[in-house]
Amino acid sequence: MLRAPAAVYYGQGARASIGTAAASLGRRALVVVDPFLAKTPEFREALSGLDGAGVAVQIFSGVVPELPTDSVTAAAESARGFAPDVVVAYGGGSALDLGKLIALLLSCDGPLSDYYGENRVPHPVLPIVAVPTTAGTGSEATPVAVVSDPDRELKVGVSDPALIPRVAIVDPDLTIGAPPSVTAYSGIDAIVHCAESYTAGKRRPDWETRLPVFVGRNRMSSLLALEGLAAMGDALPLAVADGSNVEARGRMAWGSLLGGMAFGSGGTHLSHALQYPIGALTHTPHGMGTGMMLPYVLQACIETTTDRLAQIAGALGVATDRSERDDAQAAIDRLDEIGIAIGLPRTLAEIGLTRQQIPRVAELAAGVTRLVALADHEVTPAFLERILDAAFVGDRSRLTDTSTNG
Ligand code: NAD
């Protein structure tokens, strides 16, 4: 299955198409942009492209990190009087998600909380042109937007195919200025999108009913995920070490786009379910948490996903000439090495989680049923606690005793 933008423009210089892409969808563009990026020459170039294409523009540059719900509602209200007919979202995942949510709130009545969860958006929303400057969340291609609701303990998502941008314009040059920490955390998250959609369980669709947003691993998501991993495996450490490495930036932007399309139908699973409570308790970035958890989650699931992990070893260029099981282990080891190379913290203790919090984290993560249901392994709070215990001290060997993996 494939859910994707109607048009994807990828390549150096692709940003020059922002004006014509927006003009093909409307005459009045609300441009949502990160406050830092709003001052860059590349953004000014995008505005002149819109002007040249005859599109009237209103700019909203008040993106608040983590997107608290009241900031999203206020942003939509401030745009209502302008009556845009297209939204251009320009920036990292936060700006892109805000653009999606403004498009939603300007198209559908009711508070944002009406749309939390999956498949809750009743009709199409304003068309969105998404221009990512990080690589990345893949938000330019996904049916997801994530917000922080002060009434909820964990971040919440609005997931609906209606949120998929109509046009994704992915110009790797726009990511050149992203600082090393943003490059590292958003980049490892893109790798996690690919690795988790590739190792997600396969579910038999009920073709006669409305399909869930995330259907589990499928042929199309697998194709995209493996290609994304092949592109990003070596590139991420290079892009973090030297942000001006154009080739590494290009491979990251490409892989992150593919990761978004892969998880946009295939879904993600336990690294994401665990990050939600870990992020909430430790106030650490999303990608830091998902990246830290990935090797532990894959290690815990190695018996049920050996074949796919072995394929991942091939994509990462670390296949052995020994057994499939050895290849699977080599893939996990390589993903862990990538985390080390980009400076991910090595233990959950290091990011401020306490041992006493582990049972609560496991319980909260087990409650993220949309994600837990996609793991290709039986999941209980005890299983999640074992993963957390190993990650707490940074010792994956605690998960290699398969007799305790159930
Ligand atoms: P971000 O958008 O929060 O940006 C982080 C920082 O990087 C900001 O200060 C921004 O100004 C800066 N930045 C971005 N691009 C830059 C550039 N080219 N040069 C210099 N600085 C730049 O970071 P992100 O990692 O892209 O997005 C994180 C958000 O995305 C989180 O809220 C997360 O929940 C969400 N997310 C969404 C999806 C989805 O499918 N919608 C998937 C994963 C994560």
List of residues 6+ apart from 219 with CB closer than 8 A: none
Which residue of 40, 146, 257 sits with most ligand 1 atoms within 8 Å of its CB, as the best mutation to test the pocket?
A: 146
Last residue of a domain, one of 160, 175, 190: 175
Domain assignment of residue 284, yes or no: yes
C-beta neighbour count of 16 within 10 angstroms? 13
Domain assignment of residue 35, yes or no: yes
Instruction: State the total domains in the chain.
Output: 2
Distance separating alpha carbons of residues 294 and 300, to the nearest angstrom: 10
- Please list the pLDDT of the chain residue by residue as tens digits (406 residues): 999 999 999 999 999 999 999 999 999 999 999 999 999 999 999 999 999 999 999 999 999 988 999 999 999 999 999 999 999 999 999 999 999 999 999 999 989 999 999 999 999 999 999 999 999 899 999 999 999 998 898 889 999 999 999 999 999 999 999 999 999 999 999 999 999 999 999 998 899 999 999 999 999 999 999 999 999 999 999 999 999 999 999 999 999 999 999 999 999 999 999 999 999 999 999 999 999 999 999 999 999 999 999 999 999 999 998 999 999 999 999 999 999 999 999 999 999 999 999 999 999 999 999 999 999 999 999 999 999 999 999 999 999 865 444 4
CB-count burial class (<10 Å; 0-12, 13-18, 19+) for 234:
middle
Q: Are residues 102 and 126 in the same domain?
A: yes
Domain assignment of residue 1, yes or no: no
Last residue of a domain, one of 175, 194, 213: 175
Query: Running DSSP on this structure, what letter comes out for residue 118?
Result: E
How far does the centroid of ligand 1 lie from the alpha carbon of residue 139, in Å? 9
Query: Which pLDDT does position 401 carry in this prediction?
Result: 60
How far does the centroid of ligand 1 lie from the alpha carbon of residue 239, in Å? 16
Q: By three-state DSSP, how is residue 145 classified?
A: strand
Domain assignment of residue 142, yes or no: yes
Distance separating alpha carbons of residues 183 and 255, to the nearest angstrom: 13
User: Residue 304 is inside which H or E element, if any?
Assistant: helix 302-316
Domain assignment of residue 2, yes or no: no
Q: Are residues 184 and 204 in the same domain?
A: yes
CB-count burial class (<10 Å; 0-12, 13-18, 19+) for 196:
buried
Q: Are residues 133 and 217 in the same domain?
A: no
Q: Are residues 342 and 324 in the same domain?
A: yes
Distance separating alpha carbons of residues 46 and 66, to the nearest angstrom: 25
Is residue 47 a contact partner of residue 180, using CB atoms and an 8 Å limit? no
The bridge status of strand 56-60 relative to strand 7-10 is unpaired
Q: Residue with the nearest Cα to atom 40 of ligand 1? A: 139
Q: Are residues 222 and 171 in the same domain?
A: no
What's the CATH code of the domain at 165?
Answer: 3.40.50.1970
**CB-based pocket (< 6 A), ligand 1:** 34, 36-37, 65-67, 91-95, 97, 133-134, 136-139, 142, 144-146, 174-175, 177-178, 182, 186, 189, 286
Last residue of a domain, one of 132, 152, 175: 175
Domain assignment of residue 272, yes or no: yes
Q: Are residues 169 and 186 in the same domain?
A: no
Distance separating alpha carbons of residues 382 and 87, to the nearest angstrom: 45
Query: Which pLDDT does position 218 carry in this prediction?
Result: 97
- Atom in ligand 1 nearest the alpha carbon of residue 146: 34
Q: Residue with the nearest Cα to atom 17 of ligand 1? A: 178
Q: By three-state DSSP, how is residue 56 classified?
A: strand
Please give the backbone phi and psi of residue 43, each rounded to the nearest 5 degrees, phi first: -70, -40
60 beta partners: 32
Q: Which residue has the tokens 């650490």?
A: 284
The whole-model pTM stands at 0.97
Is residue 279 a contact partner of residue 285, using CB atoms and an 8 Å limit? yes
Domain assignment of residue 47, yes or no: yes
What's the CATH code of the domain at 207?
Answer: 1.20.1090.10
| Domain limits for position 350 | 180-399
- Atom in ligand 1 nearest the alpha carbon of residue 66: 32
Q: Are residues 139 and 191 in the same domain?
A: no
Domain assignment of residue 111, yes or no: yes
How far does the centroid of ligand 1 lie from the alpha carbon of residue 94, in Å? 5
